[in-house]
Amino acid sequence: MASILRVDHIGYSYLGRIPALVDFSLELEEGRIYALIGANGTGKSTLLQLMGGLIHPSQGGVYFRDQEVCETSLEDPAFRRLFRGAVGFLFQDPDVQLFCPTVLDELLFGPLQLGVDEAEARERARAVMQLLALAGLQDRPSYMLSGGEKKKTALGAILTMNPQLLLLDEPTNGLDPRTQHFLIELITGLNQAGKTVVISTHDLQLVEALQPRVAVLSEEHRLERLGEADEILHDEQLLLKANLIYQPFRRSR
């Protein structure tokens, strides 16, 4: 399978001194689902933002179909349009993402920016609102939505762009069980339609349900292991070491 995106020996520190990722390499094959799992602060959100070209590594490189994603390449309008149209990004905190006056405007913004004509953009928005049960909320501003409704709106804003690669940071967080289940079905359906999906999560049940290829991040901000879901989920030592499961201290009698 062809690679859609590759991070090659990347390093990233905030303010030049807070390490977030160290010598990290990962290649995403087109049409697969990936899960980034790791304890708090291991670098999952940072890795997704590097993959999405929202920030750039201080060492190594990010490549989209073998073209480097960096400040210079994104200054080229043709590459920027290609890359921004192909990659959808869901932030861990939807408040960072939502800025339009209404839910409907959020859904229309991406396709209109990409040059989709208005009738087609409205049709996509209508279909996505129906899919995500957002129709009743279309005229509301985001500050009048619940956390889960904001998350669905932010996800809808990506879906109307119809990207090839979806980068979803903790997509099920804050969603009720029915909506979580719906999201699992949605991700599976998108993947069956050929999309590549990367999620970050601590939720091992989500990993079990999606059966993705799994990258485990260590507390040293490195790639601890890359493997198939079943292999990772059955490796108790690995999960304990990565602080993904916790064995409370047992008092001896």
Ligand X SMILES: Nc1ncnc2c1ncn2[C@@H]1O[C@H](COP(=O)(O)OP(=O)(O)OP(=O)(O)O)[C@@H](O)[C@H]1O
Among residues 44 and 195, whose Cβ is nearest to Mg ion?
44
Across the beta sheet with 59-64, the strand order is 18-29, 3-14, 59-64, 67-68
What SS3 class is residue 215? strand
* Cα(26)–Cα(6) distance, integer angstroms: 6
Determine if 193 is a binding residue for ligand X (CB under 6 A). Answer: no
Cβ of residue 14: shortest distance to ligand X, in angstroms?
A: 3
Question: Which of Mg ion, ligand X, none does 41 bind, CB closer than 5 to 8 A by kind?
Answer: ligand X
* Cα(243)–Cα(245) distance, integer angstroms: 6
Which of residues 2, 18, 78, 119 is near ligand X by CB under 6 A? 18
* Cα(207)–Cα(116) distance, integer angstroms: 35
Contact 47, 217 (CB under 8 A): yes
Which of residues 22, 31, 32, 45 is near ligand X by CB under 6 A? 45
Determine if 46 is a binding residue for ligand X (CB under 6 A). Answer: yes
Question: Which of ligand X, Mg ion, none does 38 bind, CB closer than 5 to 8 A by kind?
Answer: ligand X
Scanning 12-20, 72-80, 173-181, 229-237 for contacts with ligand X by CB under 6 A, the matching segment is 12-20
Cβ of residue 46: shortest distance to ligand X, in angstroms?
A: 3
Question: Which of ligand X, Mg ion, none does 1 bind, CB closer than 5 to 8 A by kind?
Answer: none
Question: Which of Mg ion, ligand X, none does 20 bind, CB closer than 5 to 8 A by kind?
Answer: ligand X
Contact 25, 7 (CB under 8 A): yes
Question: Which of Mg ion, ligand X, none does 212 bind, CB closer than 5 to 8 A by kind?
Answer: none
Place of tokens 């087109």: 30
Among residues 104 and 223, whose Cβ is nearest to ligand X?
223
Cα separations in angstroms, 184 against 1, 92, 151: 24, 17, 14
Q: Considering CB under 6 A, how many residues would be counted as binding ligand X? A: 12
User: Which of 164, 163, 203, 194 is CA-nearest to residue 183?
Assistant: 203
Place of tokens 């030592």: 237
Which of residues 6, 44, 151, 195 is near ligand X by CB under 6 A? 44
Determine if 20 is a binding residue for ligand X (CB under 6 A). Answer: yes
Which of residues 3, 13, 45, 173 is near Mg ion by CB under 5 A? 45
Which of residues 5, 43, 168, 179 is near ligand X by CB under 6 A? 43
CA angle (113 as vertex; 62, 193 as ends), nearest 5: 65
- As to burial, measured by CB atoms within 10 angstroms (0-12 exposed, 13-18 middle, 19+ buried), residue 99 is exposed
Residues in touch with ligand X (CB under 6 A): 14, 18, 20, 38, 40-46, 92
Residues in touch with Mg ion (CB under 5 A): 44-45, 92
